[in-house]
Amino acid sequence: MQTAQPSGRERTFGEDEIIVSKTDTRGTLTYVNPVFLRLADLEEREAIGAPHSVIRHPDMPRGVFKLLWDRIQSGQEVFAYVVNMARNGDHYWVLAHVTPTFDAAGRITGYHSNRRAPDRAALAEVQAIYARMRQVEATAGAKQAAADASVAALTSMLADQGLTYDQFIFSR
């Protein structure tokens, strides 16, 4: 569904607004709230049943998504800065909190994501790290190798600062 090219225009949303989406275990959208639809420039009938990646911005490093999926598939929550893309190519930054949804037997049945407006001061540093991750990915070859190399680069960059990934996210 996503055929637009990045426009370079940024969309913003209020600090009191929350973007909410739910997916099944494969990442197919099962619920989206009105804020999600407004920012993504989608109708509910277009969003439900589509892959969550329908809003993936090409500047988003594969390594961040690998980290995210590794965490939630293992039953953990994760926080991440993410740049998304609306249908028309506009982008919007979020601080995402993604959690697995469990059934009564403790099996993961899907995922729930709440996104808030990010701390604007943190974005310059996040963007610089993501640019470095994309550079690593561009030279790493196939998609999986690129994602693995990108996570390794992120881990190394943060270790040089004496930080874990979670410490980095929560300190920004």
- Whether 3 is in a domain gets the answer no
- Whether 5 is in a domain gets the answer no
- Whether 123 is in a domain gets the answer yes
pLDDT of 1: 53
- Whether 164 is in a domain gets the answer yes
CATH number at residue 114: 3.30.450.20
Domain with 162 in it = 19-170
Across the range 106-111, mean pLDDT stands at 98
Predicted structure pTM score: 0.93
Taking 90 as the threshold, does the pLDDT of residue 50 lie above it?
A: yes
Taking 90 as the threshold, does the pLDDT of residue 3 lie above it?
A: no
- Whether 1 is in a domain gets the answer no
- Whether 11 is in a domain gets the answer no
Across the range 74-78, mean pLDDT stands at 98
Across the range 49-69, mean pLDDT stands at 97
Across the range 25-45, mean pLDDT stands at 98
- Residue 5 belongs to what H/E stretch? none
Question: What's the total number of domains in the chain?
Answer: 1
